[in-house]
Amino acid sequence: MSAHILIVEDDAAILELIATTLARSGYRIIRASTAEAAHAILRDVVPDLVLTDWSLPGQSGLSLVRTLRADHHTRQLPIIMVTARSGEQDTIAGLEGGADDYIVKPFSPREMLARVYAVLRRRAPHMTSDAIVVGQLRIDPTTHSVVATDREIALSATEFRLLHFLVAQPNRIYSRAQLLDKVWKINSYLDERTVDAYIGRLRNALGAVGYDRNIETVRGLGYRFNVSDMPGVGAADMVGASV
């Protein structure tokens, strides 16, 4: 799956350089030249990462980061600041304000790509090309394959995205609305019962290999992929193997 990245940058040349570099690496780009424009976009689209300048007209990039962290809809968004402010106190302020990483201009395209991938791998592992292995279950987004106990499981594209998302963040509970945001990339255009239907399909597909029980319904909250009772699986057993 290609991650959607929202770039907030008022310098048109720098915006195009960043956008072109990321697009060539397979990322899907959304552009905004001000924090206010970014807020308008975020009302309709939930990106997988926000990359923002500090010195923006109107609301600053740092203020944007703090605002996003204070809103429960965007609190978990991975955010990278890209700025000419190179002082130690600036870096500290950016990171303490909620940024996951801080890139100082000028920077090399390779450095930016490495930092973007590192933040996505840490904060949104379902958006990287890494295969996930837990117990005897292996999910590979590159080949779009799911193998459990040496048996390949046939899934539709949406079923694959849903399973990949849940397994990439084990034991974490997601509401139906959150799953619509993260997996379907929409907020209110589908009935939340759509999630229930796809969860049912996933359980049916995984039932033959005994992993249906790991997709748990948490009453009043949502769903999670529980690895706690999987034999021999602990935190260190969640493996992301670069492919």
pLDDT tens for each residue of the chain, 243 residues long = 578 899 999 999 999 999 999 999 989 899 999 999 999 999 888 788 999 999 999 999 999 999 999 987 788 889 999 999 999 999 999 999 999 999 999 999 999 999 998 888 776 666 666 788 888 888 988 888 999 888 899 999 899 989 988 988 888 888 888 888 778 865 556 788 899 999 999 999 999 888 999 999 999 899 999 987 664 454 434 444 332
Please give the C-alpha separations between residue 145 and each of 1, 154, 163, in angstroms, as whole numbers.
Answer: 13, 8, 11
CATH number of domain containing 145: 1.10.10.10
Domain count, the chain: 2
Which of 71, 105, 126 delimits the end of a domain?
126
Which of 86, 110, 126 delimits the end of a domain?
126
Same-domain status, 118 and 169: no
Same-domain status, 141 and 97: no
Please give the C-alpha separations between residue 66 and each of 21, 43, 70, 89, 196, in angstroms, as whole numbers.
Answer: 27, 17, 6, 16, 34
159 within 8 A of 206, measured Cβ to Cβ = no
Same-domain status, 104 and 202: no
CATH number of domain containing 99: 3.40.50.2300
Domain enclosing residue 79, as ranges: 4-126
Whole-angstrom Cα Rg for the chain: 19
Q: Give Cα 222 distance to the centre of its chain.
A: 18
Cis peptide bond N-terminal to 106, omega within 30? yes
Which residues have a Cβ under 8 Å from the Cβ of 92 and sit 6 or more positions away? Answer: none
Distance CA 210, CA 203 (A): 9
Same-domain status, 143 and 108: no
pTM: 0.62
